[in-house]
Amino acid sequence: MIERISSDPASAIVSDAIEYVNQRPSQEIHIALTGGRAGQIITAGLLAALGDNPCVHFWWSDERFVDSQSADRTAKGIDALDLKCHVHISQDPHEADDANASALVYAATLHKYTTTRFCSDNSMMDICILSVGPDGHIASLFPGHQALDSSAAVIAVADSPKPPAERVTWTYPTINASREIWLVATGEEKRQAVSSLRNGVDFHDCPAAGAHGKLATVLYTDLA
């Protein structure tokens, strides 16, 4: 794992992602976005810089199964923006009967847009950005949860320990089918999770420890 210590990790990720895309003109790029405070900054920065690029596909590695206009929705308001890039969002309760149905549709969408590249080098995302929670969780994969051992591509979580309880999340097989994984952990409340990552703990105790990019795994943090 590579560490990039910065006073502003979110801005560093935005700059690095823009550079990554600019170095590959006219090439299809898939980037998974994340939630949380840092995730909101990253999403806003990348949509502002790359929203007019039709070669870029944005995804979310997890989403809360709530109304699309709910304040709890990670991708709230994204579908109303005038964007030329491709934005892939999981279905909300008005579009899917339940979280399981939403997960199945999202998995099918992922398969549709990434099968060619997966057959080529077993990758789906170019970059998967993941916010690390204070407990070490990533996406909606929480310590000790049965979802950690799932082999399905996208699953429903009905009992998230962090509200809202119902979510749709990628699992390790999907997350780790990324050329690069960029973890972001900022603030003192993340210090224990960062320490666990640095010490190589079991992913059942710190789910972020189970994220491994095919080419690189990078931790962006302000914690020296």
* pLDDT digit string, tens, across residues 164-190: 999 999 999 999 999 999 999 999 999
Q: So what's the pLDDT on residue 80?
A: 78
Give the H/E segment covering residue 46. helix 36-50
Q: Which tens digits make up the pLDDT trace of 47-94?
A: 999 999 999 999 999 999 999 999 999 999 998 789 999 999 999 999
Closest CA to 170 of 110, 127, 113, 214: 110
Q: So what's the pLDDT on residue 201?
A: 97
Q: So what's the pLDDT on residue 15?
A: 98
Q: Which amino acid is at 100?
A: N
Two tokens, residue 153: 């591509």
CB 150 within 8 A of CB 142: no
Domain ranges of the chain: 2-221
Q: Which tens digits make up the pLDDT trace of 104-145?
A: 999 999 999 999 999 999 999 999 999 999 999 999 999 999
Q: So what's the pLDDT on residue 31?
A: 98
Mean pLDDT, residues 27-34: 98
Q: So what's the pLDDT on residue 95?
A: 97
Q: So what's the pLDDT on residue 198?
A: 96
Q: So what's the pLDDT on residue 189?
A: 97
Measured CA to CA, the distance from residue 68 to residue 91 in angstroms comes to 8
What residues form DSSP beta bridges with 187?
A: none
CATH class of the domain whose range is 2-221: alpha beta
Q: Is 186 exposed, middle or buried (0-12, 13-18, 19+ CB in 10 A)?
A: buried
